[in-house]
Structure 1
Amino acid sequence: MATTDEAAVVPYKKYEERTERMLKKRLAQLPAALCITAALTIGGVTQASDDWPSMNITFSSALPQGGLNLAFEWWADELERRTDGAITTSRHYSASLMGAGATLPALARQRIEAGYMAAAYFPGEYPLWNVAGVPFQTSDPVAQVRAFYELYQENEAFRAEWERNGVHLLVLQPLPHGIMGSREPINSVDDLDGKRLRMVGYVAAALEELGVETVGLRPEELYESIQRGVVSGYGAWPFDLIPVSALHEVAPYHYDLGFGHYASAAIGVSKRWWDSLDPKVQDLMTEIAEEFMFEAGMPLIVQMEENACDRILDHGGSVTVFSDEDIATMEELVGSASVDRWLAAATERGIDEQVALDFREQFLAKYESHKGEVPYESGARACAAR
């Protein structure tokens, strides 16, 4: 299997000055009470000069460095800087420590302190969170993050979902749109019929309504599976992660099907470990997490998407956006299949049907209330225009 293209990994420090300028601009738009707190983090000033406890945080991810690990990398670097090196991290990528499915039990047992998690990895353990996998419902990264983060604070059933798994939700990763990749060109919706694609989550139900045979594969298996012809591509993948995972090498044709977000991703930490921390440490960790989610993360992700476009086009690949007509056709064909499958799975796992429906309604209402607060243009659509 080919190794990750190092040029595709964009370290956050390269964009630190840009992020600081953006933060200062956003501060001017915040209420005064929020500015007082946020200003303490600008320019590397920590909130206190007290000594911090010395500790090392072990982090595991099944994905390569960069990409969807950006949230942890930024958070961890900031944490080390603001504690003068007292709190450090050991980072394990590409399933070098454990596979994606082992992350949740490892967090619950405190074998690791932090891990990358995607809702679709754990449908049985996180039935409510997996509403993120329903297509045609969200397309604004920060609005999606804000909706889930607020529900974690306010919705008893959603918070209980995390707590019974022994995990504290630390950082939600803003996600670009889910992009389909294929070994062969696809010219219309009809060309999807008969394709065999890697897909997890409830977008799979949508693709199956279009005649696609979906296959569940772990992220670390995907490159080789496409290379060997086990699958002809993947059904949805974050645009910025495509070259980080080197998938453009084996599936050069990329398509925005108009599904919007296909999932939600987060950094979870062991609740047992979290509860043992000094409240002052918890407050600093939360402050940095919120700064990434609501302020610093999007400029970095936009830059990652621009970088992804460069790598894909330089490698001879293409990016195509399906027409509004094709997207409307797909949405009509899919109907309620994805929502129905999500609701059935949630109730099978013990969630009351009305609780599940209320949760989705609250999620979409919160999403709509935050939509457009941070301007965003899909990197895939911008790339297609090139």
Structure 2
Amino acid sequence: MKFIRGALLCAVLALPVQTHAQETINLTVASSHPTVVPWVGMIQTHFMAKTDEILAGEGNYKIEWNEAFGGQLYKANATLTSVEEGITDVGWVFSFLEQAKLPLSQGSSNAPFATSNPPLLLKVMEDLIENNEAFKNEWEQHNLKVLGLTATDLYDFYLKEPISGIEDLDGRKISAPGVLGNWLRGTGANAVDGSLPTYYTDVQTGVSDGVLSLALGALPIKLYEVAPYIARFDGGAVFSGAVAINRDTWDGLPEEVQNAMIEAGKYYTESHGKDLVERHEFALNKMVELGATIIEMPDGETAKWVNLLPDIAGEWAGPLEERGIPADAFLAAYMEGLRAAGASPVRDWDK
């Protein structure tokens, strides 16, 4: 009898164990910029990796990422429409070049030098995109869901020839992306529309005499080779865009995957902010090692630059208000958010 019971037990144990099959989800992730640009590379190393890590812990879903970084699917002028139309499922949207479609997203760029603290800026913008209905709807009306935010490190001028102060830019052609061309008004410089993928060639071919750019973008594209003089102003950080997912794709994902991506997006935003601070000085020092020369500006020169500018915040907000877009309220919420978090803007653009 014991033999029979033992045989039955062995037979039961020998039966195949029924396991729940892990479902694979195929998603395309893309960008206009290459992964050597830090915030794009961090889509791989932080957003995607964190999503994968969270899902692996649950064991129910796995994402098969089809990667198309560095302009394989679209260029810098099509980052919004490419996510909106599903050319990519996930992508970095470069808000600087979307002034017409993302007007409120230009607020920080039209209120320059409000903060030189990227993590603080990102925290304020994260709160706004979650709680300011106008800002949230501005993004969601384009058939996408925002997952993570990006900002810039600090802006300086990368030039063919040195300057001793802001007034020396008078008459020079300076490349800058979209709305940042406004920062040159009052200086006498002529803005040339451009972005990181075009800067090197712009300067090399004489399209421009230099670039208004950030260290973390200038280093990987080797801008210092053609514009070796870095006039250091430590211009304030601004909001630059978002990692977003096509809304139709999003709605088709299981809730577990959505939650993983939301958590990964917050991790990406926080890590990106810290990275901006840590890498800024490193990038400047590295460019000096590679042959660049940093020109420290005299005390008060940054404030002098800011005060040369017209009321670009008011000029930006006025036409939007006429169209029924609450730019004044958004600007006030942005500036108040910064001040409440401890920032001391060089100029109170909302007042």
TM-score normalised per structure 2: 0.83
Match of residue 315 from structure 1: 290
> Structure 1 pair 246/208, CA: closer, same or farther in 2 (3 Å)?
same
Among 79, 88, 92, the alignment partner of 2:68 is 92
Confirm or deny that 1:80 pairs with 2:48: no
Q: Could you report, residue by residue, the CA deviation over 1:205-233 in whole angstroms, capped at 9, with x for unpaired residues?
A: 23121101001124322211111111111
Local SS of the residue matching 1:198: strand
Structure 2: gaps of 5 or more residues: 1-19, 344-351
- Displacement after TM superposition at 1:299 (Å): 4.2
Work out the CA distance in 1 between the residues paired with 2:298 and 2:64. Answer: 47
Among 34, 39, 45, the alignment partner of 1:64 is 34
> Structure 1 pair 312/357, CA: closer, same or farther in 2 (3 Å)?
same
> Structure 1 pair 297/209, CA: closer, same or farther in 2 (3 Å)?
same
Local SS of the residue matching 1:117: strand
Q: Could you report, residue by residue, the CA deviation over 1:335-356 in whole angstroms, capped at 9, with x for unpaired residues?
A: 41x21332245346x344xx21
Q: Quick one: which amino acid aligns to residue 72 of structure 1?
A: I
- Displacement after TM superposition at 1:300 (Å): 3.4
Work out the CA distance in 1 between the residues paired with 2:281 and 2:303. Answer: 27
Match of residue 26 from structure 1: none
Match of residue 190 from structure 1: 167
Decide whether the 8 Å contact of 1:173 with 1:265 is kept in 2.
yes
Local SS of the residue matching 2:177: coil
Higher share of residues assigned strand:
2
Confirm or deny that 1:251 pairs with 2:211: no
Q: Quick one: which amino acid aligns to residue 301 of structure 2?
A: D
Match of residue 292 from structure 1: 268
Among 322, 325, 337, the alignment partner of 1:366 is 337
> Structure 1 pair 118/256, CA: closer, same or farther in 2 (3 Å)?
farther
Work out the CA distance in 1 between the residues paired with 2:126 and 2:139. Answer: 12
Decide whether the 8 Å contact of 1:60 with 1:103 is kept in 2.
no
> Structure 1 pair 102/52, CA: closer, same or farther in 2 (3 Å)?
farther
Match of residue 13 from structure 2: none
Work out the CA distance in 2 between the residues paired with 1:310 and 1:330. Answer: 24
Q: Could you report, residue by residue, the CA deviation over 1:328-372 in whole angstroms, capped at 9, with x for unpaired residues?
A: 222221141x21332245346x344xx210111111122223347
Match of residue 144 from structure 2: 167
- Displacement after TM superposition at 1:310 (Å): 4.0
Match of residue 304 from structure 1: 279
Q: Which has the larger radius of gyration?
A: 2
Work out the CA distance in 2 between the residues paired with 1:94 and 1:178. Answer: 23
Match of residue 328 from structure 1: 303
Work out the CA distance in 1 between the residues paired with 2:78 and 2:21. Answer: 35
User: Pairwise CA RMSD of aligned residues?
Assistant: 2.2
Decide whether the 8 Å contact of 1:258 with 1:322 is kept in 2.
no
Match of residue 148 from structure 1: 125
Decide whether the 8 Å contact of 1:128 with 1:356 is kept in 2.
yes
Sequence identity percentage: 22
Q: Quick one: which amino acid aligns to residue 190 of structure 1?
A: E
Match of residue 14 from structure 1: none
Q: Quick one: which amino acid aligns to residue 75 of structure 2?
A: G
Confirm or deny that 1:339 pairs with 2:313: yes
Local SS of the residue matching 2:236: coil
Match of residue 139 from structure 1: 116
- Displacement after TM superposition at 1:94 (Å): 2.6
Moved over 6 A (4+): none
Provide the aligned length of Structure 1 versus Structure 2.
Answer: 317
Confirm or deny that 1:54 pairs with 2:29: no
- Displacement after TM superposition at 1:171 (Å): 0.5
Local SS of the residue matching 1:86: strand
> Structure 1 pair 145/99, CA: closer, same or farther in 2 (3 Å)?
same
> Structure 1 pair 315/258, CA: closer, same or farther in 2 (3 Å)?
closer
Q: Could you report, residue by residue, the CA deviation over 1:244-303 in whole angstroms, capped at 9, with x for unpaired residues?
A: 122121111113334302442321211221122222211111112112323x33443344
Higher share of residues assigned helix:
1
Decide whether the 8 Å contact of 1:68 with 1:173 is kept in 2.
yes
